[in-house]
Chains A and B, each alone.
Chain A
Amino acid sequence: MSLVFTGVCSHAPGITGREDRAPPEQRDALYAAYGDMREALHAAKPDALILLAAEHFANFFMNNMPSYAIGMGDRYSGPIEDPDWLRIPTREAHGNPDLSRRLIQEMLQTVDVAYCEEWQFDHGIMVPLHFLDPKSELTIIPANINCQGPPLTPLHRAWAFGEAIRRAADSVPERIALVATGGISHWPATPDSGRINEPWDREFLKRWLANDREAMLDYTDAATYEEAGQGGFEIRTFITAAAAAGGAGHLRYYEAIPIFAVGCTVAEMEIV
């Protein structure tokens, strides 16, 4: 039928794995924001949720790295990480290969997306799923942009991917939701973990919330790396969501939480 919901959120493993080490009031407010997004997402009654991640070598590696990938399996599982470390139990998610195939066929008109009948979820998908679909009620279609192993896809292609997702969602009879996950500035899994450039994040969010395409594409990877760390490359997923939705954003939550290693963000975007 159409795209019925678009949101973005953080996926850092510390959000669940180190939940007891954050200031409780910050953590509780973040969890409440995820809860609000869960309600809005389910209220949109999606037949499937495209969960767009920037995965971290769970499925894709430098032996054969797709810039863009979409799942076409009937079931997926995760996390690949130690469930005790992530504090998310192992679970399965059900997919819809026929719907995936139709969506992918349309996306291929403009973006050469790889398809995957197998997909193991890492924290990039498991953390959002944990909050947004705790009872495994939704049909999940995982998607990915390589934000980890350069060379990386240019930002304007991430925008084109969003347009392709929108066109594909509008071309099928099902109701499609999109949630894109990623950090803004962060230096994950390094000794600098916990470093967050909040002014940089606020500036990016300002551009994202206004859905200002030119301003969002006006970053170079070199400058992003310098100011926002290797984690900043994940702005691609936010850009894709903005292109798909087309409207203005609504920020539910942003706070820098160093022990979670990212400026934690929960936001939705109007679909126009």
Chain B
Amino acid sequence: MSLYTLSKLLFTLNRDAAAKEDFKADPAAFADRFVLTDEERAAIMERDIGKLFVLGVNGQILMHFGALCGVEWSDYLQQMRDGVKQHGPVREGIYAMTTGIDEKVAGA
């Protein structure tokens, strides 16, 4: 429904061990606990780091979702770049991209 709710889902997942287990066992049921748009829900279900970044999720929250999904650091950075390439600039929040789309600053 909003960046706030989407962020709340990820915040819950990051800090609560039981929530992590619930998400792994049944991601759809876990997502149902939060009022999300179809686009937000799809991004969660598909573990779409790039889309979540473009939707405006704070990197300090998204980073841990990446780790939870087993995404290696360089891949995590690349998936965010790919998200911007595919979906356009970050739409909300303070975690915009400030370098060129193919500019790999570190960890490439």
Q: What is the interface of chain A, defined by CB distance below 8 A to chain B?
A: 13-14, 17-18, 21, 56-59, 61-63, 80-82, 85, 120, 148-150, 187-195, 225, 229-230, 258-259, 261
Contacts and interface: CB of A to CB of B under 8 A. Distances in A.
B106 A190 contact: no
Interface string B1-14: 00010011001001
Closest 5 pairs between A and B when the two form their complex, measured CB to CB: A194-B106, A189-B59, A258-B106, A56-B60, A194-B105
A95 B10 CA distance: 29
A192 B60 contact: no
A87 to B, nearest CB: 12
A57 B106 contact: no
Nearest to B10: A57
Contact of A81 (B11, B64, B77): B64
B35 interface: no
Contact of A148 (B58, B62, B98): B58
Contact of A189 (B14, B60, B96, B105): B60
Main secondary structure of the interface of A (DSSP, over half): loop
B96 to A, nearest CB: 8
B107 A62 contact: no
Nearest to B99: A192
B23 interface: no
B68 A193 contact: no
B99 A81 contact: no
Interface in B37-68: 53, 58-64, 67-68
Contacts of A193: 59, 77, 105-107
Interface string B65-77: 0011000010001
A18 B84 CA distance: 25
A59 to B, nearest CB: 8
A182 B11 CA distance: 21
A44 B16 CA distance: 37
A158 B84 CA distance: 35
A192 B15 contact: no
Nearest to B62: A189
Contacts of A187: 98, 105
A188 B106 contact: no
A194 B80 CA distance: 14
A229 B58 CA distance: 13
Contact of A258 (B59, B60, B105): B105
Nearest to B106: A194
B11 A61 contact: yes
Contacts of B77: 191, 193
